[in-house]
Amino acid sequence: MISNSGSGIVDLRDVSKVYIQGEHRISALRGLTLTIEKGEFTAICGPSGSGKTTALNLIGALDSPTSGTIWIDGTDLGSLNRKELSRLRRDRIGFVFQAYNLLPVLSAYENAEIVMAVQGVPDAQRRERVMALLAQVGLEGLENRRPSELSGGQQQRVAIARAIASRPAVVLADEPTANVDSATADTLLDMMEALNREEGATFIFSTHDPRVMERARRVVRLVDGRVESDEVRA
């Protein structure tokens, strides 16, 4: 495992990603260099095919770059084997997916605690943390409901609680407002902003939703796999 002396919680250096489809080479990212500091609330945006989802997948160690290096919380992903990558995803990265990705046979509480349970966190410590988070995201009293008994917005709240429960280094949110109405989207963004402030959680969004971009304190726009603009707001 190689350590990084840089200050960013996420560092991408000259990262390219090429997909081969038959005789065609598709360049999703072209020499992307990007640093995200701890505590940022950043949106990566761009048109379809711009590379934003690819970038998020690479940061989340769900895919590997064709070239370049990616550092997460001081660790070079290219230096890790498959087991080490799995452990890094579990311990340092929280995921919020647009399709929620909750386990249907588990309750809201069980879904929210699952990462901590796999990590071996003691029951009492898990319960204190998860119950507080579920209350914080407005799900107090709904802990025992399964996903099928919750609305889309409520399921996404469970997903947010799950993502933040183990205090990961970075939370990656792929189109988290895509499947909810405007009022619910605003509520979800309020909660993520609060978690960002109160927990110091680093959030990186892949989005085309103007509501997310308006809330973000930094907006990185990709076009054809390259950074077109990088706006930091006060």
Inside any domain, residue 225: yes
Structural Rg of the chain based on CA atoms? 18
Report the chain's mean pLDDT, rounded to a whole number.
91
Inside any domain, residue 9: no
Q: pLDDT tens-digit profile of 109-132? A: 999 999 999 999 999 999 999 999
Query: Per-residue pLDDT for 188 more than 80?
Result: yes
Residue-level pLDDT at 16: 96
Report the run of H or E that residue 175 belongs to, with start and end: none
Tokens encoding 100? 């929620």
Q: pLDDT tens-digit profile of 145-173? A: 999 999 988 998 899 999 989 989 899 99
Inside any domain, residue 192: yes
| Cβ–Cβ < 8 Å for 111, 102 | yes
- Residues 220-233, mean pLDDT to the nearest whole number: 94
Query: Per-residue pLDDT for 18 more than 60?
Result: yes
Range of the domain at 226: 38-66+81-232
pTM of the model as a whole: 0.89
- For residue 22, what is the DSSP state? T
Question: Which has the higher per-residue pLDDT, 85 or 180?
Answer: 85
Inside any domain, residue 143: yes
Inside any domain, residue 160: yes
According to DSSP, the β-strands at 226-232 and 203-207 are unpaired
Residue-level pLDDT at 3: 47
Reported for 138-146, long-range contacts at CB under 8 A and 24+ positions apart, including other chains, are 138/187, 138/191, 139/108, 142/108, 143/107, 143/108, 143/109, 144/107, 144/108, 144/109, 145/107, 145/108, 146/104, 146/105, 146/106, 146/107, 146/108
Q: pLDDT tens-digit profile of 45-101? A: 998 889 999 999 999 999 999 999 999 999 999 999 999 999 999 999 999 988 888
Inside any domain, residue 3: no
Local confidence band at 24 (pLDDT 50, 70, 90 cut-offs): confident
Inside any domain, residue 156: yes
Residue-level pLDDT at 7: 62
Inside any domain, residue 211: yes
- Tell me the CATH number at 207: 3.40.50.300
Q: In the chain, how many domains are there?
A: 1
Residue-level pLDDT at 5: 44
- Residues 195-221, mean pLDDT to the nearest whole number: 92
d(CA 134, CA 2): 36
